[in-house]
Structure 1
Amino acid sequence: WVRLLEEWVALERKYGFENPGGPSAFYTKIGRPDLVDWWSRVARKRVRKEGPSSMPPVKDFANSFQVWWASINPDWRERDVSNGCLRLDNRVETKDKDRWEEMKKPGQCGILTILVCLFHWFQCVETREDEDEWRKVADDVQWVV
């Protein structure tokens, strides 16, 4: 987690800490967890550790986040046809930066929204199995960053 945050800060530094607005600053709303809407309306205006008063069960949130994460990733990343999530065990290294262009969303509407989801997801983890799933996805986010 700490390494992911360090790499995210380095990425934002590379972008000059720009914070664009408008529709193009956001990842798609389609399939986006409700937590992101809550964070956009309420929490990002002031720091909040606690999530919304009604977080869904951890497995439901994990599934909705992973489907959304897959939807915002480039089409060339392999997905599991049974659930729409990314195949995290099959990453393809690419040096072609244009292949990642759709992921380039600096500022508070970009990767930060992904980190907020990961943070609140981890707060709800209750079992080793839940934590292992979280770690796999967090590792994938770090790989993308």
Structure 2
Amino acid sequence: MSLRRDEDHDYISTFSQIYQNLPSNAKQDLLEQYLFPLLNAAPEHISQDIINTASQFRKNLMAMPDLNYDGMLKEINGLWAAYSAEEIRAITKDTTRCDAFLREILASVAAWISDIWSVACEFMENFELAHRCLRLAAETVAAVERKAPK
């Protein structure tokens, strides 16, 4: 069911341009304070159609991986801390596990890149977050390359 009328086009276009340029917290406030209450004012069949559509969107996105930037940053920092401690131990010992830590860092980043690809390219969502995640992944791989034995 389409609620769109030809004369509504200017309102939709204007609203869309404004909405796209709002920060996320302002978008959320606009939805909660002004648009959500319109569901109660609209005819029941229209409100139900909107709820059904929102439910379908949620269902379609349930399989989307959680990129968890902060969690990955914490994991990478933890692995770097372990690597640094192992580097210090390597000074006094014959054996070292430094290479194993570098491989573990790369394995974590490689698995994460798969999730980033899925979110940005398959689900076509969260592009800014995906970009931020890719930057962290690239910086991490570059750091591993600098540390890797030549």
| TM-score of the aligned structures, taking structure 2 as reference length | 0.35
Bigger RCO of structures 1 and 2 (CA < 8 A, at least 6 apart): 1
